[in-house]
Amino acid sequence: MDVSHLLDQLNDAQRQAVAAPLAPALVLAGAGSGKTRVLVHRIAWLIQVEGVSPMGILAVTFTTKAAAEMRGRIQTLLGIPGASMWIGTFHGLAHRLLRRHWREAQLPQTFQILDSEDQTRLLRKVLKAMDLDETRWVPREIQWFINAQKDEGLRSKHLKDEGDATRRQLIRIYQAYEEACQRAGVVDFAELLLRAYEIWRDNAELLAHYQARFRHVLVDEFQDTNTIQYKWFTLLAGRTGLPFAVGDDDQSIYRWRGAKAENLNQFRRDFPAATLYKLEQNYRSTGTILKAANALIANNAGRLGKTLWTAGEEGERIKLYAAFNERDEADFVVNRIREWTDQGGARREVAILYRSNAQSRVFEEAFLNARLPYRVYGGLRFFERAEIKDALAYLRLISSRADDTSFERIVNLPTRGIGAKSVDALRDSARAAGTSLWAAALASMAAGSSAQRASQALGAFLALIDRLDQEINELELHERVDHVIQMSGLIEHYKKEKGDRGEGRIENLLELVSAARGFTPDTEDEHIAAMSPLDAFLAHAVLESGEGQADEWDDCVQMMTLHSAKGLEFPVVFLVGLEDGLFPHQRSVADLAGLEEERRLCYVGATRAMRRLYLTYAEQRRMYGIDSFGQPSRFLSELPVELIEEVRPRIQVSRPTFVARKPALETPVPGMRMGSRVRHGKFGDGVVLNFEGNGPHARVQVNFEGPGTKWLMLSYANLDLI
Ligand code: ATP
Ligand code: MG
């Protein structure tokens, strides 16, 4: 049998791991050292040399896209169809298992999967049936609680109230929710994993079957497994399985979602016979990029410790660009991409990586203007995001009461007790009378035809829209947007959605204010010029979202958050928005563990680059609707200066005119900015983490040495700069 081609394209250390004896193995190695490549070759080796059936292999990847790639590569290596193999994400494989064993899982054969929104909706119903007030028992918070328990492998019956009444109630809700799911025959995402684990745990025969079938369990990105995934995996591996895990503790970036890099160590305890393989040669990046990444991550404590080197060329220095502001930053990126494509490079070889989703907007705008095709990888484009559509629906309805689509979207968002039945009734009477929903609602109020509670809620909604309309009448466009997202309750609504997700939505909403502020209607077109600024802005939003994603296979620039860039590589990478508060994210700078995770994220970002790495930050940034003057990210100061080349801004004809003027300072307190040290009469000394809102409503977030992080109203706080 010719196996030489399998080992040909590997170095010694990689070969050792690929051709390892049939025993548990752990590959611990840095970015770009060929971990994923080793995993793929190991699968091919098992099939071709060890004679393992493709059906006897289970491999877990981090995304479905990575799974498809892996199948393709095995197919190329071996010439066998990869389709029959169990290669997928944890969720995907768990799903596959439950579809086969729906009986054992006590699910109907046609069980449905709830996405996050569906889950909230169901939870709402449960709360209602329990007669619990949603303002006290916030659905999104409870959802967070339930999913976190499931991720830890805990059912309601496992939880103890510890004498705490709130906790007791949460457990009761969790139980009622479990029952409701069971009755409806639905499972949420976290449930997929938990139930797939339970059917093995509680079913010795079934487990034995799968243990015998999948003796080879391979997992990529092992550092980001959570508790239930780890349990599922160890259960399957059992005492006789031959697990093969690859990972990099320096790239663990999902701690906030329950991932535990400690699982790398736990693996060595649970499989004491496991051989440890280390790969040290990096094949992806130039020497310069690698040195910078190594220097950066060296600032983290408690690493397992790895060295990475490359035999490749030193390459060019890393380009650092200090932009005047966020638009200048985007223009810089556009121009550099042009340079790349002019020299024959493809657009798809370029990636823009950012910390927060909301940062995509400014780049999207610049790319649209420059007619540069782009794709937001693993996410929606700005104007397609749900929360943006919510806010736009308010603005639309304010602008035109006859806009039924908008009416339906927001009539009960945030929840105000207008149920589906009431909306159905409105729809019927609107249809019968040939009027808009708004008109039907007015008529129903006048006739007193609905139940008192529903009617009150509806009346409040109509009054809200009318009031918002009046209140924003005299305001500038961006102030209108700001006022509406604040006073409609949308911000409050999304604040209840805990974690990164809710925060991302709020960032997007606030970014809409920036979008409005930077919006200039196309006065060339007489029809647009005749529209009110609000209507012109709304039309612009529809058009932008209507452009649709460029097709995956089109040659377009790749945009994505740092989190979704894991495992990928690109010849040219732009790491943008490198300002303290933005990256590292202000939420994470307050504690060391959070900061170290941000640093790992930065390490992941930098190590995506193969040939050319650009780092950019803006001295002034209009973000989330306010102007701020950021400090360059502390991560920049952790890079060796000799590896960096500062790009001096050249005078460009296309430079936005407002840059040429001295920009007016708009920080709420002169001289105060993110990172400023301040003193408060009661709370003592602290560091400014963030600002929110404008004028008299402006708030500041300070991390005080004693009491911790607090939001304060700037107008009352009496903060002194120190
Ligand atoms: P990450 O930590 O980012 O997931 P990784 O360790 O999984 O990275 P791979 O993606 O497998 O690394 O490999 C990085 C790049 O190096 C890929 O382009 C891969 O094809 C190439 N590569 C890996 N090993 C070799 C080798 N022995 N010879 C040539 N190229 C290699
Ligand atoms: Mg990889």
Model pLDDT, residue 669 = 63
Q: Is residue 300 part of a domain?
A: no
Ligand 2 centroid–CA 497 distance in Å is: 32
Residues 35 and 64 placed together within one structural domain of the fold: yes
pLDDT in tens, 442-462: 998 888 766 677 788 999 999
Residue 546 pLDDT exceeds 90: no
Cα–Cα distances (Å) from 457 to 176, 265, 342, 417, 442, in that order, read: 27, 55, 59, 6, 12
Banded model confidence at residue 661, pLDDT cuts 50, 70, 90:
very low
Q: Residue 160: which CATH number?
A: 1.10.10.160
- The H or E element spanning position 565 is none
Lowest mean per-residue pLDDT among 342-356, 406-420, 457-471, 532-546: 532-546
For 564-617, write each residue's pLDDT tens digit.
899 999 999 999 999 999 999 988 877 888 999 999 999 999 999 999 999 999
- Element containing residue 22 per DSSP (H, E): none
- Is the domain of 156 the same as that of 231? no
Q: Are residues 393 and 481 in the same domain?
A: yes
From the CB of 35, is ligand 1 less than 6 Å away?
yes
Instruction: Tell me whether residue 528 is in a domain.
Output: yes
Q: In this predicted model, what pLDDT tens digit does every residue of 403-444 receive, in sequence order? A: 887 898 899 999 888 888 888 899 899 888 888 899 999 998
Residue 524 CA to ligand 1 center (angstroms) comes to 51
pLDDT digits (tens, 9 = 90+) for 161-197: 999 999 999 999 999 999 999 988 888 989 999 999 9
In 3D, which of 94, 600, 582 has the Cα closest to residue 326? Answer: 582
Q: List residues bridging with 688 in a β-sheet.
A: 702
Q: What pLDDT was estimated at residue 528?
A: 66
Q: Is 540 or 92 the better-scoring residue by pLDDT?
A: 92
Tokens of 408: 């339906």
Q: How confident is the model at residue 665 (pLDDT cuts 50, 70, 90)?
A: very low
For residue 698, tell me if it sits in a domain. Answer: yes
Whether ligand 1 lies within 6 angstroms of the CB of 42 is answered as no
Q: In the predicted model, is pLDDT for residue 718 greater than 50?
A: yes
For ligand 2, the distance from its centroid to the CA atom of residue 88, given in whole angstroms, is 14
Residue 533, in any domain of the structure: yes
Do 160 and 43 lie in one domain? The reply is: no
Question: Does 345 share its domain with 205?
Answer: no
pLDDT tens, position by position, 352-388: 999 998 899 999 999 988 989 888 887 777 887 889 9
Check whether residue 328 and residue 394 sit in a common domain.
no
Question: How many angstroms from the chain centroid is the CA of residue 103?
Answer: 35
Identify the residue whose C-alpha is closest to ligand 1 atom 8. Answer: 32
Cα–Cα distance, 516 to 476 (Å, whole number) = 9
What was the pLDDT predicted at 551? Answer: 57
**703-713, pLDDT tens digit by residue?**
777 777 777 77
- Does residue 540 line the site of ligand 1, with CB under 6 A? no
Name the phi and psi angles at 575, rounded to 5: -100, 105
**In this structure, is residue 290 part of a structural domain?**
no
Do both 25 and 152 map to the same domain? no
**Which of 521, 541, 561 delimits the end of a domain?**
541
Helix/strand/coil for 335: helix
- Residue 53 pLDDT greater than 60, yes or no: yes
Q: Is the CB of 280 under 6 A from ligand 1?
A: no
Least confident segment among 207-211, 456-460, 461-465:
456-460
Say what the pLDDT of residue 470 is: 94
Ligand positioned closest to the Cα atom of 609: 1
Strands 112-114, 186-188: pairing kind: parallel
| Omega before 414 within 30 of 0, i.e. cis | yes
* Residue 475 in this model has a pLDDT that exceeds 60: yes
Element (H, E) at 216: strand 216-219
Residues 345 and 250 in one domain: no
| pLDDT at residue 520 tops 80 | no
Q: Which atom of ligand 1 is nearest to the CA of 38?
A: 11
Q: Please name which ligand lies nearest the alpha carbon of 570.
A: 1
Ligand 1 binding pocket includes 480 (Cβ within 6 Å): no
Tokens of 523: 């006065």
The reply to whether 161 and 44 lie within a common domain is: no
Choose one of 541, 562, 597: the last residue of a domain. Answer: 541
Both 88 and 209 in one domain: the answer is yes
pLDDT tens for each residue of 315-331: 999 999 999 999 999 99
Model pLDDT, residue 651 = 43
pLDDT at 692: 67
Closest-approaching ligand to the CA atom of 220:
2
Q: How far is the C-alpha of 62 from the C-alpha of 229, rounded, in Å?
A: 12
**Closest ligand to Cα 285:** 1
Q: pLDDT at position 695, please?
A: 61
What is the pLDDT at residue 657? 33
284 lines ligand 1 (CB under 6 A): yes
Cα-to-centroid distance, 30 and ligand 1 (Å): 10
Indicate if the pLDDT at residue 697 is higher than 80: no
What is the 505 CA–ligand 1 centroid distance (Å)?
A: 35
Ligand 1 atom at shortest distance from the alpha carbon of 279? 6
**Domain boundary pick from 661, 687, 710:** 661
pLDDT of residue 3: 67
Cβ of 33 below 6 Å from ligand 1: yes
Distance 422 CA to ligand 2 centre (A): 52
| Test site for ligand 1: of 6, 28, 36, most ligand atoms within 8 A of the Cβ | 36
Task: Say if residue 392's pLDDT is above 70.
Answer: yes
State the CATH number of the domain containing residue 535: 1.10.486.10
Ligand 1 contacts CB of residue 300 (under 6 A): no
> Residues 552, 446: one domain?
no
Mean pLDDT of the chain: 87
Please give the Cα distance from 324 to 629 (Å, whole number): 10
The number of distinct structural domains making up the chain is: 5
By percentage, how much of the chain surpasses pLDDT 90? Answer: 54
Are the CB atoms for 484 and 391 separated by under 8 Å? yes
Distance 282 CA to ligand 1 centre (A): 7
Residue 660 confidence (pLDDT) above 60: no
Question: What pLDDT score does 648 carry?
Answer: 66
Ligand 1 lined by 282 (C-beta under 6 Å): no
Token output for 614:
């650009």
**pLDDT, position 402:** 82
CATH of the domain at 605: 3.40.50.300
The reply to whether 260 falls in a domain is yes
Closest listed ligand to the CA of 33: 1
User: Mean pLDDT across the stretch 515-522?
Assistant: 80
pLDDT class of 545 with cuts at 50, 70, 90: low
Task: Please list the active-site residues.
Answer: 35-36, 220-221, 251, 608
Q: In the chain, what is the greatest distance between 2 CA atoms, to the nearest angstrom?
A: 85
Q: What's the confidence (pLDDT) of residue 666? A: 42
Judged against a pLDDT cut of 50, whether residue 1 lies above it is answered with no
Q: Which atom of ligand 1 is nearest to the CA of 39?
A: 11
Helix (H) or strand (E) holding 271: none
What is the whole-number distance in angstroms between the Cα of residue 599 and the centre of ligand 2? Answer: 18
Across residues 278-288, what is the average pLDDT?
Answer: 96
Mean pLDDT of 332-343: 96
State if residue 34 touches ligand 1 by the CB under 6 angstroms criterion: yes
Distance (Å, whole) CA 664 – CA 669? 13
Region 267-277: mean pLDDT is: 95
Q: Is residue 148 part of a domain?
A: yes
Q: Which domain holds residue 645?
A: 318-381+548-661
**Mean pLDDT, range 22-38, rounded to an integer:** 96
> Cβ of 134: how many Cβ atoms within 10 Å?
17
176 in the same domain as 117: yes
Is residue 298 one of the residues assigned to a domain? no
Of all protein residues, whose CA lies closest to atom 15 belonging to ligand 1?
Answer: 284
> Ligand 1: does its nearest atom lie under 6 Å from the Cβ of 32?
yes
